[in-house]
Amino acid sequence: MTETSSAKHKQTTRDRILDAAEHVFADKGLDGSSVRDITTAANVNLAAVNYHFGSKTGLIEAVFSRHLGPMNTARIALLDWVEQQAGEGYPSIESVLDAFIRPVVMHHLAEHGANDAFMRLMSRCLNEPPTHLEQVTHHFDVLMNRFHTAFSRALPDHSPSEIFWGVHFTIGIMHHTLHVLSHLHHLPFCPEESADAQTVVERLVAYTAAGMKAQHGSTISVKGPCGGTISTTQSCTNR
Delimit the domains of the chain by residue range: 1-54, 59-223
Between CA 3 and CA 14 the distance in angstroms is 16
57-84 as b/e, with b when 16 or more CB fall inside 10 Å? eebbbbbbeebbeebbebbbebbeebbe
Please state, rounded to an integer, the average pLDDT across all residues of the chain: 83
* Greater model confidence, 146 or 124: 146
pTM score > 0.75 for this model? yes
| 59-223: in CATH 1.10.357.10 | yes
Quote the pLDDT of residue 121: 86
Identical fold at 1-54 and 59-223? no
* Dihedral angle over CA of 231, 234, 238, 239, nearest 10: -70
Between CA 56 and CA 49 the distance in angstroms is 8
How sure is the predictor about 5, in pLDDT bands with cuts at 50, 70 and 90? Answer: very low
pLDDT digits (tens, 9 = 90+) for 22-78: 999 999 988 889 999 999 999 999 999 999 999 999 999 999 998 899 999 999 999
Looking at domain 1-54, its CATH architecture is: Orthogonal Bundle (1.10)
Between CA 106 and CA 101 the distance in angstroms is 9
Give SS3 for 236.
strand
Question: What is the mean pLDDT of the segment spanning 78-100?
Answer: 96
Orientation angle between helical segments 141-154 and 160-180, nearest 10 degrees: 120
